[in-house]
Structure 1
């Protein structure tokens, strides 16, 4: 049975990815969830991705493979650099949840907006888009927007303030862009709540696109195995 290991920084994400898997994954794919909240909490506290957290991410990826996973995908964008390192250390596929989102945005247009509620996520997401564009020989411009105060509001239980700040970022902060990338998947529900036409550009979020990419990778492994 093909097995996908999902490495999360919050236990709440397991249900989110189970729901997406039910729509985009073949019935024979098995999911295993691995959760370690320290990876994001330590990154936020430090303000950057520490070496100790990088080592922990690499260990988590190894644990997924030790548990029998064929592919591992890390669902947090803030620790993407550690995922890239893990991909070089293991023979099995190691995926970033936001890579497919970056590919999609770059294919859509030249001026790409990146919206985040945390600087520790904004920077790595913008860096990924720049790197992917360079790999593909694309000339792009990135417009970064940090929704200041939104993260603190949602952590304090004030979802309405979070949604208002993010909504303003998606509308006024993203005028004139060709595509919008959500650095955090939690912002996707704000897009759905805005009036039709309020956001002028296509908006891309990582979980759905990431899971579609994981399904493609698993299908490729299965095909190669069948061809042996």
Structure 2
């Protein structure tokens, strides 16, 4: 039986992005999309821990419905999803963890750029966690791109990307830039800053596929 990867999204816009990456990089991979926009809204208003129980229920349901692993594509709820996945006993990948590891490898000075304030804290903590794992020093700065999320919600994707790319290109004294949300990925192609500008969807999906393969090999 083909292993199934469940993707936990807080926006439906991520579905075609990951379907496209699957088709390009991992043809034949079975994906199951779980879209729950209310998780992001509540986490933004009350903090990520407010949705921890709801996330655990979704993970339990995903396992019951045949998921072999889960990829959480939302940076805001990534930490609570990791914690609850451990309790449920299902392999889980945070989409932004491979990106954070790459940023730490690129240099000490890392800028975290986000369009939602609720994402800044979790992503900063993630970069610092990856630095601790790697035994590397890290200085993290955070940048909130004002107005970009509103453009995204209004469907102005070009304006959304432009504001992010402009904010990235205005940065000085950094070794790497982390685009904190999966929805920001396109801006990496438009920024001209001469340091790595990292986005999460492709490396995150690649890491999840590697986890699936390990599980499949263990069962064979």
Distance change (3 Å), C-alpha of 1:157 and 1:104: same
Alpha-carbon distance between aligned partners in 1 of 2:91 and 2:74, rounded to the nearest angstrom: 17
CA contact (8 A) 1:175 1:200 kept: no
Partner of 1:84: 82
Match of 2:179 in 1: 182
Q: Is the 8 A contact 2:112 2:124 kept in 1?
A: yes
Separation (CA, whole Å) in 2 of partners of 1:159 and 1:74: 22
- Give how far 1:31 is off: 1.0
**Does structure 1 conserve the Cα–Cα contact (< 8 Å) formed by 2:56 and 2:88?**
no
Contact 1:3 1:32 in 2 (8 A): yes
Q: Deviations over 1:93-127 (max 9, x none)?
A: 02211111111111121111111011101111111
| 2:10–2:35 contact (8 Å) kept in structure 1 | yes
How far off is 1:4 after superposition?
0.5
Gaps of 5+ in 2: none
How far is 1:26 from its partner? Answer: 5.1
TM norm structure 1: 0.89
Does the residue aligned with 1:120 lie in a helix, a strand or coil?
helix
Deviations 1:34-87 (CA, angstroms, capped at 9, x unpaired): 1111001222334x2242x11111111111111111101111000012112213
TM-score (normalizing by structure 2): 0.92
Q: SS at 1:177's partner residue?
A: coil
CA distance in 2, matches of 1:70, 1:221: 8
CA-atom RMSD in angstroms: 1.7
Secondary structure in 2 matching 1:39: helix
Corresponding residue of 1:207:
201
Unaligned runs of 5+ residues in structure 1 are none
Q: Is the 8 A contact 1:83 1:95 kept in 2?
A: no
> How far off its partner does 1:210 sit?
0.5
The corresponding residue for 2:216 is 222
1:137 to 135, 152, 165: 135
Q: Is the CA contact (8 Å cut-off) linking 2:6 and 2:71 kept in structure 1?
A: yes
| Partner SS state of residue 144, structure 1 | strand
* Residue 148 of structure 1: aligned partner: 146
Aligned equivalents of 1:99 and 1:11: distance in 2? 21
What SS does the aligned partner of 1:77 have?
coil
The equivalences for 1:150-169 within 5 A come to 150-169=148-167
